[in-house]
């Protein structure tokens, strides 16, 4: 069953992935970088497509989470930061927010009147859900990079369970 959230979860964001891509999991983080209060960028949503870690840096995967807006199409800043990019890339309206400490969030498709260099506060409206991109219509794709490597956004709100190894054979 797909989780439905009525309000954005919040948590302190852990930080930096291990240096080697092959040796880190999609959820691997360390405590070396600053912590950031991070929320989901929609007030009410359901997850329509989860993060799927690629087996290596250039392999197939889903480097983000797709969220279906359930009520309001207002897109919120997931954390304090500065708008790094607003514009179109191919057929998608994108907004990218740099939160400092190597943490960057990209939201698409989002129509925004903001411009690069604008400071935004956590949960401040940054635009409206638009159409285009690879996600289904009505879905917001949330991608998060930490020091240039994509991580599962759910890690930032404490929603990724720890792996449990089971005996085999």
Higher per-residue pLDDT: 74 or 71: 74
How confident is the model over 74-111, as pLDDT tens digits? 999 999 999 999 999 988 999 999 999 999 999 999 99
Sequential DSSP letters for the chain: ---EESS--EEE--B---S-STTS-TT--BSSSPP-EEE-SSSSEEEEE--B--SSTTS--B-SEEEEESS--EEE-SSSEEEEEEEEETTEEEEEEEEETTEEEEEESEE----TT-EE-TT-EEEEE-S-SSSPTTEEEEEEEETTEEE-GGGGGT--PPP------
How high is the pLDDT of residue 13? 42
How confident is the model over 102-123, as pLDDT tens digits? 999 999 999 999 999 999 999 9
């Amino acid at each position: 069953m797909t989780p439905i959230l009525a309000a954005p979860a919040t948590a302190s964001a852990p930080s930096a992935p291990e240096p080697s891509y092959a040796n880190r999991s999609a959820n691997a983080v360390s405590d070396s970088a600053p912590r950031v209060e991070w929320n989901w960028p929609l007030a009410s949503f359901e997850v329509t497509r989860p993060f799927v870690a690629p087996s290596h840096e250039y392999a197939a995967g889903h480097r983000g989470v797709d969220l279906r807006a359930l009520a309001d199409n207002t897109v919120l800043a997931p954390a304090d930061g500065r708008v790094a990019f607003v514009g179109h890339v191919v057929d998608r309206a994108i907004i990218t927010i740099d939160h400092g400490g190597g943490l960057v969030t990209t939201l698409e498709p989002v129509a925004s009147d903001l411009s690069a260099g604008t400071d935004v506060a956590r949960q401040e409206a940054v635009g409206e859900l638009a159409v285009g991109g690879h996600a289904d219509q009505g879905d917001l794709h949330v991608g998060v990079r930490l020091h240039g490597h994509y991580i599962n956004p759910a890690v930032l709100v404490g929603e990724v369970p720890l792996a449990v190894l089971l005996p085999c054979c």
